[in-house]
Amino acid sequence: MLGDDVLSIDYLAAVDEGLNSIYFGYTLTIFVIMILTAIIYNVFNFFAPGNLLIPVTILLAVITGIFTLVPLVGRSVIYLAIAAVLAVEAIQQNPTTLWYPLVFFLFMTLAFDNVVRTYIRPYLSGKMFHLSLVMFAYLLGPILFGWYGIFLGPLLMVIVVQFLQVVVPQLRGEELKSRLNIDPTTIQETDDDFDDTMGSGEATDGGR
């Protein structure tokens, strides 16, 4: 595909490794959201005025995590449904407590979702790539491709970064001694056997 069998194997293996890192992190994000929203829903119930309680908090937390698969508006649908139920109960019990469902909805959509998009999801998916690079892919993907961008953005990021990292140096006739510094930490491990491994057609992961 790239004109060199060994180079093709190295590149495809690197892409596969990157996709495993990104999408495993995305799955992990869903479970983290389930746990965090279960805690948040129960905290809101603890401070709820009167009897404005969020029902079946654990089930709703699981549904919230699943709806993360629907980008941009997925979780907001759950937040809106919960706020609507609380608003109806507030009107029936005490209209002065209508501020409570409003605070809940604003907190979940503006504060919590922003933390998920900006920190949690990029961090959990950034074990192999720099945090800011993964964050950029997740934020730019939906802008360019709509809902599917949540998957296509990271996919394109992995393809481009691994191409620049594995293929370009060898096409330019350079001897690749180490991978680009895309690790989220400031410490990059080295591998003295990297050249021997590349010659055998096996992909490496920077000493991981």
What pTM was estimated for this model as a whole? Answer: 0.60
Tens of pLDDT along 162-197?
A: 888 777 776 776 655 444 444 443 333 333 333 443
CB 44 within 8 A of CB 36: no
Tens of pLDDT along 58-86?
A: 999 999 988 877 655 678 899 999 999 99
- Checking if the pLDDT of 17 tops 90, the result is no
Q: What is the pLDDT of residue 203?
A: 42
> How far apart are alpha carbons 131 and 71 in whole angstroms?
20
DSSP 8-40: HHHHHHHHHHHHHHHHHHHHHHHHHHHHHHHHH
